[in-house]
Amino acid sequence: MYNKTKYLIAGDRALVMEFGNCISEEINEKIRAMTIAIETKNIEGVVELVPTYRSLMVHYNPLIIEYTVLLTTLQALEEELENIELPAPQIIEIPTLYGGDYGPDIETVAQHNALTVEEVIQTHTSGEYLIYMLGFTPGFPYLGGMDKKIATPRLQSPRTKIKGGSVGIAGSQTGIYSIDSPGGWQLIGWTPVKLYDENAEKPILLKAGNYIKFKEIDEKEYKRIAPSINDGTYQCKSYPKAQGGGVIG
């Protein structure tokens, strides 16, 4: 993390607060704090906030707020950050079917790491994964914190279509395809939960700064929850992350 946050001009209607030049939980926590602080302050003329790995983009309307006013307001807010009480990040449980047709590459992952399929699932479900940011496709989470024990290189030749909800591994990253798209990740499972549903009241399930945890389900459990997922009433289990516990794995 930089000693002094960089305020960078990003066009005449956005500025970037850059907190560092690496991917770290510490920086992400600061971004989350700043995002909450700005949202709470409700600064007139701030249009939209986009948190990313190591920075926060603040879109603004210069016809409503002058650049210098915005700059000093943000700097003052940053000074006060320590005094702001942050709610604990949420952990969202993602029910996941592992292996078989749902995760055709799980044996590749097991073999690559000299583990059994069971051990891969056990390792993958034990982690709490920080959502650094969303992007690539609507609702796609860039996750951190996967155990290197199950790291596996991408497929040599990417698939042309991967079903939305597919859970995969690429190198030391894990992720969930939010919509049908091409891709080269090793697929180990699939969640019936929709990360992106344009007709839902909240079209995007996840939010940067929160965590996800995968929970293994079987066919029987899938059949039980399928109707409520389909009619939009299913709610993923979510709870505040225990503070000070660090990231498992």
Partner 1 sequence: MMELINVNPILKHKGVGLLGKIKVFKSGLLTLIQDKGRKGYQQYGVPVSGVMDDFSYRIANVLVGNHEGEAVIESTLVGPGIEFLEEGVMAITGGNLSPEINGKPIPMWKSIFVKPGDRLNFKAIKTGCRSYIAFAGGIDVPKIMGSRATYTRGNIGGYEGRALKSGDMIHIGEADKPLRELVGNWIHQEIYSYSNTVEARVVPGPQEDAFTDEGIHTFYNSEYAVTNECDRMGYRLTGDKIQHQDGGDIISDGIAMGAIQIPGHGMPIIMMADRQTTGGYTKIANVIAVDLPKIAQAKPGDKIVFKKVSIEEAHSLLKEVEEKISNLKQQCISRKVIKTREFNLKINGKAYAVSVDEIKS
Q: Is 23 exposed, middle or buried (0-12, 13-18, 19+ CB in 10 A)?
A: middle
Of 1, 2, 22, 80, which lies in the binding site for partner 1, with binding defined by CB under 8 A?
22
| Torsions phi, psi for 125 (to 5 deg) | -85, -10
* Residue 14 C-alpha from the chain's centroid: 23
> Should residue 162 be labelled a site residue for partner 1 when binding is judged by CB under 8 A?
no
From CA 94, how far away is CA 202, in angstroms rounded? 16
Q: Checking DSSP bridges between strand 129-134 and strand 55-60, what pairing results, if any?
A: unpaired
By CB under 8 A, the residues from 116 to 135 that bind partner 1 are 133-135
> Should residue 11 be labelled a site residue for partner 1 when binding is judged by CB under 8 A?
yes
Of 4, 12, 83, 85, which lies in the binding site for partner 1, with binding defined by CB under 8 A?
12
3-state secondary structure of 166: strand
Of 28, 52, 123, 174, which lies in the binding site for partner 1, with binding defined by CB under 8 A?
52
> Should residue 184 be labelled a site residue for partner 1 when binding is judged by CB under 8 A?
no
* Smallest separation, CB 201 to partner 1 (Å): 11
Of 11 and 244, nearer to partner 1 (C-beta) is 11
From CA 104, how far away is CA 110, in angstroms rounded? 12
Point out which span in 54-62, 77-85, 108-116, 223-231 binds partner 1 (CB under 8 A). 54-62
From CA 145, how far away is CA 130, in angstroms rounded? 7
Find out whether 23 and 142 touch, Cβ atoms under 8 Å: no
Of 208, 212, 217, 236, which lies in the binding site for partner 1, with binding defined by CB under 8 A?
208
> Should residue 21 be labelled a site residue for partner 1 when binding is judged by CB under 8 A?
yes
User: Given the rule CB under 8 A, which residues bind partner 1?
Assistant: 8-14, 16, 18, 21-23, 47-57, 59, 62-63, 66-67, 133-140, 178-179, 198, 203-204, 206-208
